[in-house]
Structure 1
Amino acid sequence: MQSVDMFGKRVGFVKFKADVVDEKTGAKLPGVVFGRGGAVAVLMLLECAGEKHVVLTEQARVPVGRVILELPAGMLDDDAGDFVGTAAREIEEETGIHIKTSDLIDLTALLDKETGQKMFPSPGGSDEEITLLLYRGHINPEALSALQGQEQGLVEHGELIKVHVAPYRKLWRYTADAKALAAIAIYEMATKEGILPELSSL
């Protein structure tokens, strides 16, 4: 064990080194691990005047030294492993939008079971596994405009978040967020195969 970062009374991040050997070859495998556990992210698509828009959060990210536009997301911080409940809570905290958990669709559940049905953004160094969810709804132009530039987040948790709304068709070029890019890929392929349910309403 090399280091532990606490989030209040809870263990947040853990860095450790494991000795792992391949049984067939005897070769030692890279075993430095940054442990941060499960997380959830939501592709929020809002239809307005015949066009799909996506809700993003703007946050300064110290490790990469830049501001990043991302999907609303957060770490799984309850003992029950409630990814959907965590997602609904994160959406409200980061965007101010209250949604029902029943309106969320698990995109990663559409992957083959052999994948673990999670997205692993950096499996060479971290155990982080992300559940990608989809929310789709309708919104009027006034409400859509009001979202743009809203300041959200829990200041006591160091969250300084600004809400951005962008046309979905531009998202793949608009963000460097791996969560967003992975969600686009799954959403587009699932749409192409016709396996997503009908739109809900906001």
Structure 2
Amino acid sequence: MSNPAFTSSIDFTATDYTLIEEKTAYQGFFALRKLTLKHKLFKGGWTQPIHRELFVRGQAVGVLAYDPWQDKVVMVEQFRVGAMNDPKSPWLLEVIAGMIEENEPPEAVAHRETKEESGLTILHLEHLYTYYSSPGGSDEQIILYLGIVDSNQVNNGDIGGLATEHEDLRVTLLHRTDALQETINGKAANTLSIIALQWLTLNHQRLQASWVKQQPQ
């Protein structure tokens, strides 16, 4: 094993790897690229050339649509091809989300997707996290926001989404604790929803205290 005192002093940056070759293996709704690269080692020196496939998805925005007055969360249910082999159902419950278009500010995506998927208007937007969803093989980066909403503007079971994008979404209004339970039950067992709802578990009291006197018009 390497000397811990030596490895702990190293902080690698974006200049400590070399991309030797990049080819597009597939281009469709998403892209797959074949990479050859090498990077520095904690023990010193460089790796031999490494061959990897990278699933290219880009950046996406997630919105935890929360009503602090009713202590409810607005989520959407939709078919997900990645869950086709789920023994229960490939229809998953998720927080609102959407891809960022070229040169589009993420805050604008948050407002647009919330309106398209649920019909709601965000009253206040707060950045929570920016993280990689699966960096072992994908470049997807999630920018997660809290969106304060008035859930009285939505009906449970409303249909949302854009037909031009083949979206068929069912709006689901849940009490905060019921939404969290769905991550355990498996209906909302996706990273975006789990991260958002666990954050809400830790912060709902602060939100309720700060918004209780600001009733929506």
TM-score (norm 1): 0.77
Task: Label 1:147 to 1:18 Cα distance change in 2 as closer, same or farther (>3 A).
Answer: same
Match of 2:135 among 123, 131, 143: 123
1:128 is aligned with what amino acid? E
Asked if structure 2 preserves the Cα contact closer than 8 Å seen for 1:71 and 1:177, the reply is: no
How many matched pairs?
A: 177
Match of 2:163 among 151, 155, 167: 155
Displacement after TM superposition at 1:84 (Å): 0.7
- Secondary structure of the corresponding residue to residue 31 of structure 1: strand
Task: Label 1:166 to 1:29 Cα distance change in 2 as closer, same or farther (>3 A).
Answer: farther
Match of 2:189 among 176, 192, 202: 176
Q: Distance in 2 between matches of 1:196 and 1:19?
A: 50
Deviation per CA, 1:104-153, whole angstroms, max 9, x where unpaired?
00011xxxxxxxxx12111111100011100224444xx4xx52000111
Displacement after TM superposition at 1:3 (Å): 1.1
1:21-40 equivalence runs, <5 A: 21-23=38-40, 24-29=45-50, 31-40=52-61
1:154 is aligned with what amino acid? L
Displacement after TM superposition at 1:186 (Å): 3.3
Q: Distance in 1 between matches of 2:150 and 2:48?
A: 54
Match of 2:73 among 54, 70, 85: 54
- Secondary structure of the corresponding residue to residue 111 of structure 2: helix
Q: Distance in 2 between matches of 1:31 and 1:196?
A: 46
1:92 matches 2:124: no
- The equivalent of 1:44 in structure 2 is 65
Q: Distance in 1 between matches of 2:143 and 2:111?
A: 13
Deviation per CA, 1:81-107, whole angstroms, max 9, x where unpaired?
x0111010000000011235xx10001
1:37 is aligned with what amino acid? G
Instruction: Structure 1: give runs of 5+ residues left out of the alignment.
Output: 6-11, 109-117
Asked if structure 1 preserves the Cα contact closer than 8 Å seen for 2:62 and 2:145, the reply is: yes
1:71 matches 2:95: yes
Deviation per CA, 1:143-174, whole angstroms, max 9, x where unpaired?
4xx52000111011110111001111122221
Higher relative contact order (CA 8 A, sep 6+): 1
Deviation per CA, 1:53-108, whole angstroms, max 9, x where unpaired?
1111110012211000001100001314x0111010000000011235xx100011
The structure with more radius of gyration: 2
- Aligned CA RMSD, in angstroms, stands at 2.5
- Secondary structure of the corresponding residue to residue 69 of structure 1: strand
1:14 is aligned with what amino acid? A
TM-score (norm 2): 0.72
Q: Distance in 1 between matches of 2:202 and 2:50?
A: 34
- The equivalent of 1:186 in structure 2 is 199
- Secondary structure of the corresponding residue to residue 63 of structure 2: strand
- The equivalent of 2:31 in structure 1 is 14
